[in-house]
Amino acid sequence: MKRVFLSAAALFSFIAAFAQTTDTTGFKSRKLKMEEINLVSSYYQQDGDNAAVTGGIGSQKLTDIANVFDVKLTRYDKRLRKHSFDIELGIDHYTSASSDLVDLKANSSASHADTRFYPSLGWTMENESKGTTIGAGVSLSKEFDYTSFGSYLSFAKKTSNKAGEFTAKLQAYIDQVKLVLPVELRPAGGREDDYASSARNSFAGSLSYSQIVNQRFQWMILGDIVQQKGFLSLPFYRVYFQDGSVHRENLPDNRLKLPIAARASYFLGDKFIVKSYYRFYSDDWGLRSHTAEIEVPVKLTPFLSISPFYRYYQQSAVKYFAAYKQHTAADQYFSSNYDLSKFNSNFFGAGLRIAPPKGVFGNTHFSMLELRYGHYAKNIRMNADIVSLNLKFK
């Protein structure tokens, strides 16, 4: 399996070139300054028995290696407004046993692996005296059968005492899906690499309000409305009918999503923080879900902490889901993708964070190292593990 890694060691020379001396005078520098660099690498693996590529049966074995390189820059303009720039590059590489069966031959076909690139650029301008922040950003995600262009606009306003903040955000994703059909459903005589494509567009509006109640307690509420239009199926997902015939997944060409959520954090003395999260989701395909999560960071020393976490999730099935060979010709829409089925899941693990005042390994620019592990399990015979490493440089 091809592995794509970014070397953390190679960052030190880059950081030394851009690092700035800490400003203790209160002067607002108008020069572009590097605030921090983050490198996040993760390894994910899963297995299960409900592969959508083969109609809801078969191996879901998959591995994914992801790397995200993020640089944050800041400067102040003549009116002392703070401009922040976030430059990010992500690279994922995966191998999938089920995707290898798009052509029904598990022999390392072209579809068994893929690499995804997703760069993005974000900008915010904060007027600290007025308590307002505006932002904008663009993104690109590219892999063999999917291309997505994204953009967003945001606005935030703090309350007069700076303890509360209202945020509004608009997002749009303009996508193209390459119609890679199962081999037995492709037109006769067509070239293997001659695929049509179809549009899939998503538009989202988000509102949130956060409040610092006191030194120990803070909370946030969030609400979204998401409208998707276009080709919302995946063309290489098979669906087997009761009569044994095979079809590609067919779902409606629009979907309205309405999630709402709440977060809260409470500081128990100097060593414990309780972080909680709840989310309710509903859409017009009939899916309803609940997510509840708790994380309790514990400070073992002034620079070492551990963060155990647990998340419970449950959802109902969409109206268009049925298992292998359960659909009939009377169904207008159909899918055997178990991500759209009824299930519940548990996700638990812990993170270890090191942030010494003199830097990790004594390097003052290497400010933080965090290692996290999580185990994910669905009650429909699917399990996964993920380990991630986050390095921060200033």
CATH for 343: 2.40.160
Q: Answer whether residue 5 is part of any domain.
A: no
Give how many domains the chain has, as a whole number.
1
Q: How many Cβ atoms from other residues are within 10 Å of residue 166's Cβ? A: 14
In sequence order, the β-bridge partners of residue 66 are 42, 92
Pairwise CA distance, residues 27 & 18, whole Å: 19
Average pLDDT over residues 119-142: 97
Confidence of residue 26 (pLDDT cuts 50, 70, 90): low
Q: Is the pLDDT reported for residue 28 higher than 80?
A: no
Q: Answer whether residue 4 is part of any domain.
A: no
Q: Answer whether residue 73 is part of any domain.
A: yes
Average pLDDT over residues 39-45: 98
CA distances for 137 relative to 7, 133, 170, 340, angstroms? 27, 14, 11, 31
Q: Answer whether residue 220 is part of any domain.
A: yes
Q: Which candidate, 372, 325, 365, places its Cα nearest to that of 347?
A: 372
Q: Is the pLDDT reported for residue 392 higher than 60?
A: yes
- What integer best gives the mean pLDDT of the chain? 91
Query: pTM, whole model, 2 decimals?
Result: 0.89
Q: Is the pLDDT reported for residue 10 higher than 70?
A: no
The residue range of the domain holding 97 is 11-22+30-393
For the segment 209-245, what is each residue's pLDDT rounded down to a tens digit?
999 999 999 999 999 999 999 999 999 999 999 999 9
Q: What was the pLDDT predicted at 187?
A: 83
384 against 19, higher pLDDT: 384
For the segment 133-142, what is each residue's pLDDT rounded down to a tens digit?
999 999 999 9
